[in-house]
Every structure is written in C-alpha cells, then in structure tokens.
C-alpha cells in the first residue's frame, strides 16, 4: 500500500483549509441583527467535541452570528431537550453532533417541524432531513492504523499474534466504519485472531483501564490493542504498564491528544488516526451558513484522517495544531 508524503499532505490540507474559510467568510447574517447559531455537542468535556465546537464557533464569529453550545452529555433525552431549547431561542440554524445514529433521527425531525435547518458534524444518522453531513473517512483512517499495527507486529516476529479492540458505541455509523476498517486491515495482513471487543459506555480513561486490565488477565498472550478514541488511551496505557507488558503489547488509537507526538516518540503508541475536528466543525457550520444564503452545499463532506507515527508526526503537527487541536495560528 502506498503512503502519502507527509509534506505534500500538509501542503494540500493547508490549501484546503484556506479554501474552506475563503468560501464562508463574509457571508454575514441573513437578517439585519445578529442571529444565533447553536452547536449541540454529544459530550462537551471530551477534547474532540470541544474542538468541533471551536470550529463551529469560528465560522459563526467570522460571519457575524452569535454562538452558543449545548451539551447532550451522551443522553438522547438531553439531546432532544437541547433541540427544543434551540427552537425556543429561535436559532437560525443548528449544527449537531448526535449522541448516536439512532437518536439523531428524532432530533432531526424535531428541528424540521420547527423549520430550522440542521447540519451534522460526525456520528451520522439512520434517517431524517439535514443540510449536510460532515464526517471523517473513518473506514480508511482505521484501515491505515491497522496497517501500521500489523507491520509493527510482523517486525517483531509476532506473526500469529492476537489483538483486541475497545471501541466507541457500535450503534454509531462512525463506530461501525472505524471497527470494520481496522478489522479488515488486520485480516488483509494475515492477523485474523481478534481476541476480544469491548464497547465504551462513558468514554472515560478509567473505563478503558478496567476493560484493558480484565482483557490482560483473561488473554495474557494478546499482542495488540486498538483504542477508538482519545482520552481512553491513557487508561489502556496505564493497564499495560501496570502489567509490565510495555514491550510485549503494541497500542494504536484513533483521535489525538495534545501529547500525541511524545506518546509516539516514546513508543507508548505505534500509530494514531487523527481526525480533524476543527475542520469538521467549521465545514458543518460553513455548509449551514451557505444554505442560509440560498446555496446548496454538498450533502456529504468527507474529511481525511491524518495517520501519525513516530516517523511523520513532526511533519504533520503544523497542520494538526489547527485542524486537530483547534489552536490559533501564532
């Protein structure tokens, strides 16, 4: 499988990001006063969703809209309450990151009845009307992460090694794509021994610590783990370290924390599939603003995954600082 030259990828993404903001800056509110654009997040205290919100806010600010963020706290009922609150506040538009793909449909129907346009930033929906759906290329990104793990396992002579996954919720479209992409990569590389799969419920580091500790106790010969989102990586790494197996087990993940470069260079992680949440939020808000001004944005916007390893992370960080972590340019 060919790999993309990191410097070329960085140049391409810088150009794409500039084009995104050039297209959406300066449209301004439709009315003479500052209308409100609302972002409904799945869980505000996770770094990924916080950065999506920053992306949404950047477009709202640039176009003269007021901005507010409502936290669903992974609850479908709270999510519906947040949509009702946005309706009561006469929001001009909503960007939503649903709690899961099943609950999304009810939220979309509620917004439609109130005649409020809505764009989706990640997760996806099982149905309903929306302006645009912005998602990461989860299947391809997770596949590429799997390629890196398989290569590292083969380099250590672990050709018959087994692996496990601690996944995000599999009622989510992105969870299904992420899991299937990684699994397919491992199968294609000759690693068919998927030992165990656990689904996250509260997405905490402590939860994944417990999962990993239990898995190590019941499957002591396991050689690799795929952790499907950011903060839980800390829990998995802690369990592996406590078991004294840092050199016997390889860890890969999806989504990136600010310490990603250090984790890769210190061999805590082999590879990380970095979504670009700032770009996802700004793309969803930009599509919504475009719709509000009478344009027809793309129904689906696919944002690429940056797969970081110790080999390329320094090349990727100048772009990732903005699109992955939402940091302002200095």
pLDDT digits (tens, 9 = 90+) for 82-133: 999 999 999 999 999 999 988 999 999 999 999 999 999 999 899 999 999 9
Task: Say how far apart CA 12 and CA 329 lie, in whole Å.
Answer: 17
Give pLDDT tens digits for 209-254: 999 999 999 999 999 999 999 899 999 999 999 999 999 999 999 9
Q: Is residue 34 part of a domain?
A: yes
For CA atoms 67, 71, 72, 74, the dihedral sign is positive
Q: How many CA atoms lie within 13 A of 161 on its CB side?
A: 23
The answer to whether residue 209 sits within a structural domain is yes
The verdict on residue 308 lying in a domain is no
Question: Does residue 310 fall inside a structural domain?
Answer: no
Residues 13 and 132 in one domain: yes
CATH code of residue 254: 3.40.50.2300
Domain carrying residue 18? 6-136+276-303
Same-domain check for residues 285 and 268: no
Instruction: Tell me, yes or no, whether 254 and 160 share the same domain.
Output: yes
Residue 320, in any domain of the structure: no
Domain membership of residue 325 (yes or no) is no
Q: Is residue 284 part of a domain?
A: yes
Is 287 found in the same domain as 235? Answer: no
Count of domains for the chain: 2
């Amino acid at each position: 499988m060919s790999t993309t030259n990191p410097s070329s990828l960085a140049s391409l993404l810088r150009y794409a990001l500039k084009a995104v903001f050039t297209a959406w800056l300066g449209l301004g509110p439709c009315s003479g006063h500052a209308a409100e654009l609302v972002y409904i997040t799945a869980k505000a205290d996770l770094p990924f969703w916080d950065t999506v919100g920053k992306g949404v806010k950047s477009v709202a600010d640039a176009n003269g809209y007021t901005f507010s963020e409502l936290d669903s706290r992974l609850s479908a009922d709270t999510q519906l309450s947040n949509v009702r609150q946005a309706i009561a506040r006469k929001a001009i538009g909503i960007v939503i990151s649903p709690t899961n793909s099943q609950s999304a449909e009810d939220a979309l129907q509620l917004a439609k009845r109130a005649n409020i346009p809505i764009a989706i930033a990640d997760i996806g929906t099982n149905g309903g009307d929306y302006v645009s759906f912005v998602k990461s290329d989860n299947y391809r990104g997770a596949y590429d992460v799997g390629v890196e793990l398989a290569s590292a396992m083969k380099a250590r002579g672990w050709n018959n090694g087994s692996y496990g996954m601690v996944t995000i919720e599999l009622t989510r479209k992105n969870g299904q794509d992420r899991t299937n992409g990684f699994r397919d990569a491992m199968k294609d590389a000759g690693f068919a021994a998927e030992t165990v799969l656990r689904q996250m419920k509260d997405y905490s580091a402590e939860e994944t610590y417990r999962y990993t500790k239990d898995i190590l106790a019941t499957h002591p010969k396991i050689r690799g783990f795929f952790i499907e989102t950011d903060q839980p990586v800390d829990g998995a790494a802690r369990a592996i370290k406590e078991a004294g197996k840092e050199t016997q087990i390889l860890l890969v993940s999806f989504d990136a924390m600010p310490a990603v470069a250090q984790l890769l260079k210190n061999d805590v992680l082999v590879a990380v599939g970095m979504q670009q949440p700032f770009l996802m939020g700004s793309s969803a808000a930009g599509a919504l603003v475009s719709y509000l001004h009478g344009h027809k944005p793309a129904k689906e916007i696919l944002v690429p995954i940056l797969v970081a390893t110790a080999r390329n992370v320094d090349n990727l960080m100048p772009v990732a600082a903005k699109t992955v972590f939402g940091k302002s340019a200095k």
